[in-house]
Amino acid sequence: MKSTLLMGFLLIFAATNVWGQCSEANKKDLEAFDREWGRAGLAGEKDKLMAIYADDYASLPTMGTKTSAVADAMADFEAEKVKPSGAKTTHEHYMIACTPTTATISHRNTTWTPGINGAKPASSFSRSVHVLEKRGGRWQAVSNAGGSMDDYTTLWYLDQDFNNAIRGRDRGWFESTYSPNFRSVSSTSAQIMSRSADIDSTMNDKGKYDLVESSDSQIRVDGTTAIINGVFRMRGTDEKGAASDRRIRYTDTWIKRDGRWQVLASAGTLIPSVQ
């Protein structure tokens, strides 16, 4: 049954890619709609939720209805007022496809929970898939599916986070995600770099990049250890303003500690450019 439902959503997503031309402006509007949907739920705005959900809305796999979806959102809102959990959820890595009247939105949800009664703060991940239709000139949610992610999916998203942290010089991400005993091998000097040296190198990079991505990724998981191999590419200009386009074959080693994945080691080999 699970494979049937997954195939159905894949077919929907593929169909919207084939038949629809989804402009960047369309995608921004749909992402804004999705974020407003989430905000309305957290704020307990029942009237807005009633307008967002279509009358024939159905969630998978529970086959929940519009009535139950709104009721659940309101119950969560009231419970949070009585006993605040301090948890915060963000939505990242949007993938959107659409036609003039249909849309499919997929994104990751990251929930951060502060430490309570001596417990350590923790982050958890899930993924949502929303199916929308434009009715009467406005978008409405007609279906929704989602759930927790396995280690492979979690690591795939974390690999994308790694790219974003490099491009955005996000020191906080490296400080929280690199293991305390992290080491790396430089793709340019072949030197072994300490955790602090690797982070400082990234922060001090004066290059400007319009593309930071990984491809050909292969993820292997063995218990609490995982290896990710792939091709990392950085395209833009170097510190002198000269055009730069580097491709690196990388191997990242991740370990799971205290229920979350951390980078233990990273090594890269520069791929010679083809003249």
Please tell me the pTM assigned to this model.
0.80
Q: Which pLDDT does position 114 carry in this prediction?
A: 85
pLDDT at 86: 87
Please state, as a whole number, how many other Cβ atoms lie within 10 Å of the Cβ of residue 246: 18
What is the reported pLDDT for 170?
96
Instruction: Collect the ranges in the chain with pLDDT lower than 50.
Output: 1-19, 275
Domain with residues 2-148, CATH architecture: Roll (3.10)
- Residue-wise pLDDT tens digits, 4-58: 334 344 444 444 444 457 899 999 999 999 999 999 999 999 999 999 999 999 9
Half-sphere exposure of 244 (CA within 13 A, CB side): 19
For 96, other C-beta atoms within 10 Å of its C-beta total 22
Q: List, for residues 86-110, the tens digit of each pLDDT value.
A: 889 999 999 999 999 999 999 999 9
Q: How far apart are CA 115 and CA 250, in angstroms?
A: 35
Q: Where are the domains of the chain?
A: 2-148, 151-270
pLDDT for 119: 67
Domain 151-270 has CATH 3.30.1330.10: no
Q: Are strands 260-270 and 178-185 parallel, antiparallel or unpaired?
A: parallel
Q: Are the CB atoms for 93 and 127 separated by under 8 Å?
A: no
